[in-house]
A and B are shown apart, each in its own frame.
Chain A
C-alpha cells in the first residue's frame, strides 16, 4: 500500500522528486515543448496532493500518474491550435558527427510525432518511449488493449512514412 500524504511534507517532496522525470518526459514527448510540460507536471503533482489517497501498489500509482499526465496533455492539445512550429529538442553535448546526425534524426522523429493525432501520439509515447506494457497503456488511456495495439501500429507506420518521405 502506497500512502500519499495530504499535507505538504518531506515525504510528498520525495515522491515528487522520484516521479517528476517520468511525468515531465512523457508530457514533453506528447506536447513537444518543455514549457507546457512543466505546466502539466505541476498540475499532475498538485492533483496528487489534493487526491492524497493511497494506492494498492507502486504500479497502480504509476498508472494513475501517467493517466493524469496524458489526460492533461490531451486537454492541452485540444485547446491549442496547431502552430506548425518545430518542437524543441535539447541536444546533448556531443561533438562527434554521428551524434549530431543522431540528434537530427531524433528531431525529425519528434517532428513526425507531432503530426500524429493526440491519442495515437500519447499511446506511442507511453508504449515506445516510456516503455509501458500494452495493458498498462490501455489502463492509462482507458482503452482496450486491442485499441492500443492498433493505435501504436498505426502510429509507427505513419512515422515511418513521414521519415522515409523526408529522406527521399
Chain B
C-alpha cells in the first residue's frame, strides 16, 4: 500500500459520521453536568411545579388541620333516677290482648328498662324507686315515691 492510498483512506475516514447515539449521550451528559440545580429547575420548571405545588398544598392542609372533636352522643348519657321515674310514669299502661293476655303482658313488662341497683341506691335521685322481683319473672313490682 502506498502513502497516497493511506492518505486517501484517511480522507474517507474524515467523512464518516459520528454515531447518533454517541452524540446524544454526550449532549445529555454535558447538559446534566454543566447545569446547577437552580438552572435545571428553571429549565424544567413545569415538571417541578407539577410536583412541588400539590406537595406544598398537602403540607399546608395537614398543618392547618385541627383535631376533630366528636360530641358524646346524648343517648349514651346515663339517665338519672328521676328521668327513669318520669319515663316509667309517663308510659301508658300495656294493653292486654284478649287472645293472648299472658304474652302481651310479658312484652309490656320486658319493654320497661330496668334501673340498676346502684342507680336506685344513688343518693341524688329525686324520687325513690324500689324494685321487687316476684317468683314470676314476668311480674315486677315497682314502688315509686316522691
Known: A156-B3, A167-B1. A38 touches B25 (CB 8 A): yes
Known: A49-B30, A49-B34. A8 touches B39 (CB 8 A): yes
Whole-angstrom distance between the Cβ of A143 and the nearest chain B Cβ: 20
- With an 8 A cutoff between CB atoms, is A45 at the interface? yes
**Which of chain B's residues have a CB closer than 8 A to the CB of A92?**
16
We find that the number of chain A residues with CB closer than 8 angstroms to chain B is 38
**Which of chain A's residues have a CB closer than 8 A to the CB of B1?**
105, 160, 163-164, 167
Asked if residues B13 and A7 are in contact (CB atoms below 8 Å), the reply is: no
- With an 8 A cutoff between CB atoms, is A78 at the interface? no
Whole-angstrom distance between the Cβ of B19 and the nearest chain A Cβ: 6
Asked if residues B13 and A21 are in contact (CB atoms below 8 Å), the reply is: no
Stretch at the interface among B4-12, B53-61, B73-81: B4-12
Stretch at the interface among A58-66, A69-77, A114-122, A123-131: A123-131
Cα distance, A46 to B7, chains bound together (Å): 33
Interface SS, A side: helix
Within 8 A of A (CB), among B22-50: 22-23, 25-27, 29-31, 33-35, 39
Known: A20-B27, A24-B18. A163 touches B39 (CB 8 A): no
We find that the number of chain B residues with CB closer than 8 angstroms to chain A is 27
Whole-angstrom distance between the Cβ of B30 and the nearest chain A Cβ: 4
Asked if residues B19 and A8 are in contact (CB atoms below 8 Å), the reply is: no
- With an 8 A cutoff between CB atoms, is B89 at the interface? no
Whole-angstrom distance between the Cβ of A133 and the nearest chain B Cβ: 14
- With an 8 A cutoff between CB atoms, is A154 at the interface? no
Cα distance, A167 to B19, chains bound together (Å): 30
Cα distance, A130 to B16, chains bound together (Å): 11
